[in-house]
A = this chain, B = another copy of it.
Amino acid sequence: MTSRTPPLARRMSDIAPFHVMALLARAHELEAAGRDVVHMEIGEPDFASPEPVVEAGLRAISSGRTRYTAAVGIPELREAIAAHYDRHFGVAVDPGRVVVTPGASGALLLALAATVNPGEEVLLTDPGYPCNRHFVRFVEGSPVSLPVDAASHYQLNAQSVADRWGERTRAVMLASPSNPTGTTLGAGEIAGILDTVRRHDGYLILDEIYQGLVYDAAPSSALSIGDDVIVINSFSKYFYMTGWRLGWLVVPPHLSEAMERLAQNLFLSPPAPSQYAALAALDPDCDALLAARRDAFVERRDFLIPALRELGFKIPVTPGGAFYVYADCSGLTGDSFAFALDLLEKQAVAITPGVDFGVHRAEHHVRFAYTTTVERLALGVERIGAYLGTVPRRG
């Protein structure tokens, strides 16, 4: 056939792959060869979808609820999401502001597409969720990744946002709890950032996909601070529905109509069976199970962090949420990517190198996901200890 190669669009040179995928592929090779790999690299809970969710999904498919739905989601799910905010956070949300999407990925795409013009800047954290800067790039915006560290709890604040806001800045995009650092933003901090954003007539886009997974404070939503925040959420993490691909956003009232037009054209409809399954996830009957799983994550975190510190990883801020530890490994290696690869080869422990989350001191950080049992985490820690015993310490 032909072998011509017309040029790729320029944006492709700014879209990085997930580096952990190469590592994951190697982990699978090792497993195929009989090695027992401890997975601490995966941002996906080990817990299965809750039984009521599974049952509801099965019922949806059996009863033929496998057709297109409204582009913004079935009305009963939008209402259930609105009721969820009322029940858990005491916030009144008009269901008309709720847009159900194919994963939080779809929600991020809609949020940026509706608000950011080509050349306009969006402020982000480095480290941060890598797709965020790619979504900004995708809509031809200009991602401005601001280095953050332990001193600011790996988050932006009113001051850093105000300092960096410029002529072309349109939005700031944060996550609480954040991936990879697991740190949260308090209500006062969000209010401060929002004040700054309001002064500039910009948008605050806040990712709350790890909302229920907070361990040192009650769960909260930025929607209680202002209805002009664009909030992103997901059924993937707290509700254990990753592969069902369902998320949502809550938008300021003046964006509802634009969201519907965009969703019609970009997605047609979110997956139908997943929407009916998600109704069960929001049912109060699921509350106890979800709370118990949250408690299991606390136990894992409280095991893992001291154990990693003992091994020489620096964790200056104890992460208050999500299921990640972003650890400073600069005392152990100057190249976190090589470190992760070598650890996998020698001890069959998989972790994610910092490079997947940005460039700011990425070579000095790795991310651990506690998406496996305490027993497996303990095995991982033991193996890392053995590995570190065989390589020369730095500094």
> A residues near B, CB below 8 A?
1-2, 4-12, 15-18, 21, 44, 48-49, 54, 57-58, 61-62, 64-69, 102-103, 105-106, 109, 113-118, 130-131, 134-135, 138-140, 198, 201-203, 226-228, 241-245, 252, 254-255, 258, 260-262, 264-274
Contact = CB atoms under 8 A, between A and B. Distances in A.
Given A12-B114, A242-B269, A244-B273, 18 more contacts: A6-B201, A6-B202, A9-B117, A11-B113, A12-B261, A15-B262, A21-B264, A49-B66, A54-B66, A58-B61, A61-B61, A61-B273, A66-B241, A105-B266, A135-B265, A140-B140, A245-B245, A273-B273
18 contacts: A1-B228, A2-B226, A2-B252, A9-B115, A12-B262, A15-B258, A17-B264, A49-B64, A57-B66, A102-B106, A102-B267, A105-B267, A131-B266, A134-B266, A138-B265, A245-B271, A271-B271, A273-B273
Contacts of A61: 54, 57-58, 61, 273
Given A6-B203, A9-B114, A267-B102, A244 B66 contact: yes
A245 B102 contact: yes
Contacts of A44: 67-68
Contacts of A48: 64, 66
B66 A9 contact: no
A262 B14 CA distance: 11
A274 B61 CA distance: 11
Copies of the protein in its oligomer:
2
A61 B54 CA distance: 7
Nearest to A228: B2
Contacts of A131: 264-266, 268
Q: What are the 4 closest A-B residue pairs judged by CB atoms, nearest first?
A: A243-B272, A1-B227, A134-B265, A5-B254
